[in-house]
A and B are shown apart, each in its own frame.
Chain A
Amino acid sequence: MVFSSRRKIIVSCVLVAAGAAALIYGVLFHSTNISPAQGTDSPASAKAEPALIKEVTVGGLERDASGQVKKTYTDKAPQACPT
């Protein structure tokens, strides 16, 4: 695919804007409900995406058969990624 100069500027600017918009939305607004690990009674709570990223880096979240995202631990988070 060959892009003319002007089209290339438009495509690049649209991509930069889309990337920046997704990044800002993820940092500031996006959150997901997280259920506690099995065996605890506390209700599900919303977690912002940066906190979700931190959780997945230690394998702290999993998706159960019902489709809910829940924690894999009860009190202290794992130290490192299980993989």
Chain B
Amino acid sequence: MAKNPAINCGANRLTPSSLWRGCRRMWIQSAFLLLWLDPLGLRLHNMCGPVFHCYACPLATFACPIGVLASFTALHIFPFIAVGLLVLAAAVFGSLVCGWACPFGFLQDLLGKIPTPRFDLPRWTAHLRYAVLIGAVFLVPYFFGKDHPLFVCRFCPAGGLEAAVPSMMSQALAGQQIVWPNALKLTILVLFLVAIFFMRRPWCRILCPLGAIFSLFNRVSVFFLRLNPDKCTHCERCHKLCQFGIEPEKSPNDLRCVRCLECTRCGPGALTLGSIFETSHSTNDMADHRSNCTGGY
């Protein structure tokens, strides 16, 4: 069973500042959600957004970068805009995008607040994301085109939830024949919806190809999770705060981290969000930290 997350959205005494502090991430995620949901009806689908949001959704401001990468690969055209945007966003923010801006992650966070038993995933499952990225986003589209059932958009649950479900509902309301998505997409969508109630961010942790890209940049991004070994008391409170089974004081920029920054609420304040331009004697070199702790290995 997963550790009990120490999220406390709100505080004992509700004041505006405590409400902001307690739910800061949720407020920021909501603000980004508003941006992605195209409130002005701009439909800027000739530009990618940096988050996982299906362009077939009736409320989508930008095109999904993963859909664009896969479609361009199927056409054998190099997607300069999608690659440039993703490299730029990942090099600056890394997985902060997943934790603070992604609408699909936000949806999973919100449903994750429903009190149900949560289970930890084996560590190896995080590597499945890279298999999805290489297989369903690049290899299958390149060799078999868009019609193959393993083309990423054909089984993506974000597409199922944000595009297929609204489309089926509008068809039903209009009295038209309902066009169902394919069996694989439906199965993954149902499994995903069930999994949300028993795991933290199942899509992000197991299958998300966009998260896989961002996580690769965690160790070199401009903003990163900084550990100050002098302040760390090894109380392991960060282990309890982390909902994803990571031990932040051992690997603060772990590939599985979505940078929700919950671990920065640890008592001693050893973990903080830092940037490469801040000078510090403890610039997050795990090897240094480990050698300080253990005498070196």
Interface residues of A (CB under 8 A from B): 1-5, 8-9, 11-12, 15-16, 18-27, 30, 32, 49-54, 56-57, 59, 61-63, 67, 69, 80-81, 83
Contacts and interface: CB of A to CB of B under 8 A. Distances in A.
B81 A49 contact: yes
Contacts of A53: 45-48, 63, 68, 81-82
A70 to B, nearest CB: 10
Can you list the 10 inter-chain pairs with the closest CB atoms, starting with the nearest? A26-B80, A22-B84, A23-B84, A19-B88, A19-B87, A15-B91, A26-B81, A50-B46, A56-B71, A81-B56
Interface in B53-102: 54-56, 63, 67-68, 71-72, 74-92
B219 interface: yes
Given A16-B92, A23-B88, A5 B79 contact: no
20 contacts: A3-B220, A5-B283, A12-B276, A15-B217, A15-B220, A19-B85, A20-B84, A23-B80, A23-B81, A25-B84, A26-B83, A26-B84, A30-B81, A49-B79, A49-B80, A56-B67, A56-B75, A57-B56, A81-B56, A83-B56
A80 B80 contact: no
Among B55, B71, B163, B167, residue most surrounded by chain A Cβ atoms (within 10 Å): B71
Contacts of B80: 22-23, 25-26, 30, 49
Given A15-B220, A26-B80, A26-B84, A57 B75 contact: no
Interface stretch (B118-126, B151-159, B263-271): B151-159
B151 A83 contact: yes
A83 to B, nearest CB: 4
B91 A16 contact: yes
Nearest to A20: B88
B63 A22 contact: no
Given A57-B55, A69-B75, A1 B84 contact: no
Contacts of A26: 79-84
Contacts of A9: 276-277
A80 B54 CA distance: 11
Contacts of B84: 18-26
Interface of B: 45-48, 54-56, 63, 67-68, 71-72, 74-92, 145-146, 151, 153-154, 159, 163, 167, 217, 219-222, 276-277, 279, 283, 285-287
Contacts of A8: 220, 276, 283
A83 B46 CA distance: 18
Among B54, B72, B217, residue most surrounded by chain A Cβ atoms (within 10 Å): B72
A56 B71 CA distance: 6
Contacts of A59: 146
B138 to A, nearest CB: 15
Among A16, A20, A22, residue most surrounded by chain B Cβ atoms (within 10 Å): A22
A12 B287 CA distance: 20
Nearest to B54: A81
B251 to A, nearest CB: 11
A20 to B, nearest CB: 6
Contacts of B47: 50, 53
